[in-house]
Structure 1
Amino acid sequence: MHGFVNPPVVHASTVLFESTEAMKKRQSLPYTYGLRGTPTTKALEEALSELEGAHDTILVPSGLAAITIPLLAFLGAGDHLLVVDSVYTPTRTFCNGTLKRMGVEIEYFDPHVGAGIAELMKPNTKVVFLEAPGSNTFEVMDVRAVCDAAHAGGAVTMLDNTWATPLYFRPLEHGVDLSIHALTKYPGGHSDVMMGSVSANEATIKRLRDTQMQIGVNAAPDDVYLVLRGLKTMGVRLERHQASALELAGWLESRDDVAEVRHPALFSFFDHELYDRQFSGSSGLFSFLLPGGFDQAAAFLDALRLIGLGYSWGGHESLAVAVDLSDRTICKGPGNGTFIRLQVGLEDVPDLKADLEGGFAAASAARG
C-alpha cells in the first residue's frame, strides 16, 4: 500500500460514511466497523486464504476460538458430532462441556476409521471434526476417505491443520470444508501472540462469517501485524524445525532408553505411508515413549536446562511436556511408559542432544 513493504496497522472502531445513502448500502462496502475488519485484518485473511486455497478466511483471538466458532456455527441442539479421538484436549473439553450443555450428541472415532466412518453417521450428524496428525500421539488419518463419507451423509468437515500448516498440507484439497489453524504457533513463530484462523470453502464461508460477527470476535490489529510479520519467515523457520526434529527423532529411536518414537515422517512410524501420501513435509513437534512411571518422566523433564517446560509450540524455543492421555477413549497409547512431547525449536541440535542426555541420566537415576 502506497509503496510500503508492509501493510499499515489500522487501529479503528468507527468508520465514517459519506452519506446516509452510503450507510443504507453499507453491505456493499469493504469496511463498515472495526469489528468487521480493517485493511490490516484483510491483508492477513487474504494471505491465509491463498496459502490454504480457500474462498475466504476469518481471524479470531486464539487457536481454541478457531475451533469453537466453526463448531458453534454448524451445530445446534439435537445434532450429532463425530470427533476423532486423537483430538487436541481443549477441543474435547469444549465438546464435552459447552456443546453437550447445548444438547449436541458427541461421539469419538478411531483416526484409522477411513471410509468406515460412514457406519458411524446418523441422520442428524452435522459435523465431522478431524485432526491430522493426531494431537500428542500423531496418528495419521485418510482425510479424503473420511471427508467423502462425511459429505455423502450430509455433514460438514473441519480439520485442525496447526501441525503441518498449509505449507505442508492443504486440507481443502483433500475434501475438508473448513481448515483450522492456531496462528499462535508457526505463523506467529515467536511465542508472543495468540490468534487463530478458519479458512473455508465457498459453501461454508457465509455461515462461518455470520457466526463470527454474531458472537462478536475478531483479531486485534497489533496481533495481526505480528502474525503477518511471522508469516514472511514461516517457510524458512519450518525447514529448520523439520530438519532438527527429524535428526532428533532418529537419534532418539536409536537409544535403548526410548521405547518408541512417534514422528509421522520417520519410515518406521506405523502411519508413515498415510503421512507420505498426503503431506509434503513435517514440523518440529513429535513425541517419544519414556519407559517407567511418571516419576521417571518428571525426573527427565526437571533435569532439562535448555529445553523449557511449556504447553505451547511453534515458537523459536524448544519445549517439552509429559503427555496426559487420560481423556482418551480409543487412542490411549501402549501404557508401558510416559509419552514426552517435544517441540523442537531453532537451537543447534548438538545442544539439544546434550540437554536430553541430562534428562535421560536423571530418569535412569530415578529408576534406581
Structure 2
Amino acid sequence: MLDQPYMTDLIEANSMGHEPNLIDIYSASWGPTDDGKTVDGPRNATMRAIVKGVNEGRHSLGNIFVWASGDGGEDDDCNCDGYAASMWTISINSAINDGENAHYDESCSSTLASTFSNGGKNPETGVATTDLYGQCTKSHSGTSAAAPEAAGVFALALEANPQLTWRDLQHLTVLTSSRNSLYDGRCRFMPDLGIKDNTPYHGDAKNCSRYEWLMNGVGLEYNHLFGYGVLDAAEMVLLARVWKTVPARYHCEAGILAEPVEIPSDGNLILEIRTDACRGSDTEINYLEHVQAVISLNSSRRGDVTMYLISPSGTRSVILSRRPKDDDFKDGFTNWPFMTTHTW
C-alpha cells in the first residue's frame, strides 16, 4: 500500500478490507505526520472498512487491527491520531530495554499496551528482524517495530484459542500486560486541577521509576505512556486457553452538552455529565471498555488546550495533552472522538 506514489481513502480502505476471512491480524505502522501539530485520521471509506472488519471479519469473530501509537515524542499526543486512537484498533507504544520510555514515545489515553523497541544509549539494542529480500537488519525502530511485535503476540493467543473475538483479545491484553519496571524518564506528572478524585499516585515524584502509574476503579494499574504495561506472551497464551468469550458489546450515550461554553483564559473549565449507564434499557452498561468524549472545540491556539476526563470513581485520563508546536487557530476539533481505555 505505502509504495504508491500517492495515498487515497480508497487505497487505504481496500488494504484494510483485504481478505478479512483469511487474514486474522492487520498490523499498521503508519498514520498522520508526527510533527506535533497535525490532527488527522481515517476518512469515511477506510473507517467503514475497519469497522466492517471488526464486526464481520474472521467469520464474525472480528479482525484485529494493531496500530503503532506514533513517534511524535513528548510534544505530540496520539489522541490526535484518529487511527491509533480508534476504539476499533489496538494502539501499541514502546519502551527501551531498561524500561524507560523511548524519546519518540507519545503519551495518550488510548494506548492499550507496549512492547520493546529501540532508543537506548547502546546502538546494539535495536530490533533485529528480517528485511526486504530476506536480508537481516538491526535498524527496525520506533513504534513501527513495536506494533508488529504485538501482532506476533496476538497471533500466538489466537493460535492457542482461535475462537477469541476482537474484544476478547483486548481484555487479555489489559489483564496480562506487565508493569515491570517501566517508567517515564522525564518525570512528567499531572498538575493539580483543584478537582477531587480518587486516583492514587504510586510512589514519589522524586523517583521516576515508581511514578506516574495510576490505579483505576477496579484496581488495574495504567499509564499514559505504556497503557497497561508490556505485553506478556506467555501469560496471554495461558489465559487465552481457558478464556470464556465476553458478553455482547453495548453502546451507551452518557449525555450531550449542546450549548457552547467558553473556556476562561486564566483558569479551568469543568463540565459534568451525570449518567445512569442506560440503566433499564437494552443497552445497560455493567462494565466499561472504551470511553469516548466526542468534542468540538475552537481555540486561539489549539496546542495550549489540555483536557481531562474523570470517571465517577475518580479515574483520571488526559485525553488531550499540551502540544507546543500546534499553533492552529482556525480548524480546532470538530466532533473529534477522544478515547480512553483507562476505565476498563
Shorter-chain TM range is under 0.3
Larger radius of gyration: 1
Normalising by structure 1, we get a TM-score of 0.25
**Which of the pair is proportionally richer in helix?**
1
